[in-house]
Amino acid sequence: MSDYEYDVNPRWYVLHTYTGYEKKVVDNITNLIASNNLENNIFEMQIPMEEEVRELASGKRKIVEKKKFPSYVFIKAILTKTIWFLITNIQGCASFCGPGGYPIPLTNEEVKRMGLEMVEVGDLDIQIGDTVKIIRGPFEGFSGEVTEINIERQKVKVNVMMFNNPTPIELDFFMVEKLA
C-alpha cells in the first residue's frame, strides 16, 4: 500500500457492501465521522435510488423506489490510509472498488452520469423546446419535448407521447439526454 497515492481533493469513490447492508454502512460511516471528527475528510454518501413501475395483481400500477446499484455505496471523501482503513473495517463493508481493494475515484463524467452531484447551470445543454431521449428510469427509451426546466430541483418536464396523447413527465436532469 505504500506505493499507492491518494488524491488530496475530495473525489467520489465506490464502496462495495454486503447485500442489504448499504444503509447500515452509511449509518456506521456517519457515526465514524462524528466520533473521529472526520467532517473535513468525508463529505457525502449516497445510495442511488430509482423509480420502478410495478404492476399489481389488481392490474394497477405502483411506482416504487429501488436501489440502482445494490450492494454499493458512493462516498465523496479525501482519502488517506487511515480513513481507508477505518471505512473498510466497518461492519457490512466489503472493500472499495478498485484493484486489490485500493480505491479508484470516479471520473467527472461518471459522477454526472450517475447523478451523484447537482448539474451546474452552465453544464446543462438542454433548453425548453429541445427534444430529449429518456435514458434512465421507468420511461427509458421514450423521447419527447422539454416544456419546463427547474434548476433548483434539478428536474426537467418532458411531454412524451403515450397512447397518442402528450403526457407530461417530470424527470431528473441525469435521466435525459439531448437528441441531435
Q: Are residues 169 and 89 in the same domain?
A: no
The two counts, helices (H) then strands (E), for the chain are: 3, 11
Last residue of a domain, one of 83, 114, 145: 114
Q: Are residues 96 and 144 in the same domain?
A: no
Q: In whole angstroms, give the CA distance from residue 90 to residue 30.
A: 11
Q: Are residues 76 and 154 in the same domain?
A: no
Q: Which DSSP state fits 175? A: G
Predicted confidence at residue 117, as pLDDT, reads: 76
DSSP reduced 3-state for 102: coil
Q: Are residues 38 and 92 in the same domain?
A: yes
Residue 41 near residue 28 (C-beta atoms within 8 A) = no
Q: Are residues 20 and 109 in the same domain?
A: yes
Cell triple for 140 = 427509458
Residue recorded with cell 452520469: 113
Residue 177: how many CB atoms within 10 A of its CB? 16
Predicted confidence at residue 26, as pLDDT, reads: 96
Q: Is residue 165 part of a domain?
A: yes
Residue 149 near residue 126 (C-beta atoms within 8 A) = yes
Q: In whole angstroms, give the CA distance from residue 109 to residue 124.
A: 13
Q: Is residue 4 part of a domain?
A: no
Q: The CATH number of the domain where 84 resides is what?
A: 3.30.70.940
Predicted confidence at residue 32, as pLDDT, reads: 93
Question: Structural domain of residue 145, as residue ranges?
Answer: 126-178
Q: Are residues 20 and 107 in the same domain?
A: yes
Residue ranges of the chain with pLDDT lower than 70? 1-6, 118-124
DSSP reduced 3-state for 139: coil
Predicted confidence at residue 159, as pLDDT, reads: 93
Predicted confidence at residue 153, as pLDDT, reads: 77
Predicted confidence at residue 2, as pLDDT, reads: 45
Number of domains in the chain: 2
Q: Are residues 15 and 86 in the same domain?
A: yes
Q: Give 150's strand partners.
A: 155
